[in-house]
Amino acid sequence: MRLKPLLIGSVCMMAAGGAVGGALDANLNNDSARLALSWMTAPSPNALEGEASIYYNTDSYYVGTLGVRVVGETGRQGNPLEAGVGGKLIGITSGDDDNLDAVGLGLGFGLRYYPVSINRLALGGQIHYAPEIVAFGDVNNILEGIATVEYQVLPQAFAYVGYRVLKVEREDNGKSQDVDEGAHVGMRILFQ
């Protein structure tokens, strides 16, 4: 797989960077599968978090990401809303006749809300956008959005349902194209 060096490199960065914790996240549906590894350089809240992911879908798209963001509680301590801002390098290639190869640096943010009245539930989402000035290859821009509803099964394990959209605007015809879109199920395992 062409994106294997990305995952190997991220594991090496995590080990060399003094990570204090992280997570392994896997999700899938009938058409796509995604695996992500994240790490934190300080205990949450107020952590610098890195993430590397790879995914593939049945339309023969391979996607790799490498991102970094600052994550912390919003407002006062104990607030049930956590936010993060940062950037993500998104690489896309197609393995068929579609002939799409692209890389973009997306800026974005994410939110995770833990409702106080519903123990162990979390609602999350993130969005990253790479406009034309930082999108290279066969695209004018890249947009990735993810929304999740998570349930904390164990202190260090979450199960979730989510929805992901990854769209590009093609450089050759200016039309919007879905690289990946759909609901998925997944799990996230935390480690320290």
Query: How many independent structural domains does the chain possess?
Result: 1
Predicted model pTM: 0.86
Residue 180 burial (CB count, 10 A)? 22
Is 115's pLDDT higher than 80?
A: yes
Angstrom distance (rounded) from CA 55 to CA 147 = 17
Q: Can you give the CATH number for the domain in which 128 is found?
A: 2.40.128
Q: Which domain holds residue 56?
A: 4-191
Distance from chain centroid for Cα 38 = 9
Residue-wise pLDDT for 55-104, tens only, equals 999 999 999 999 999 988 887 777 889 999 999 999 999 977 778 899 99
Residues in the chain: 192
Q: Tokens 């049930």: give the residue.
A: 80
Output the DSSP codes for 26-76.
Answer: EEE-SSEEEEEEEEESS-SSSEEEEEEEEEEETT-EEEEEEEEEEEEESSS
Residue-wise pLDDT for 156-180, tens only, equals 999 999 999 999 999 988 889 999 9
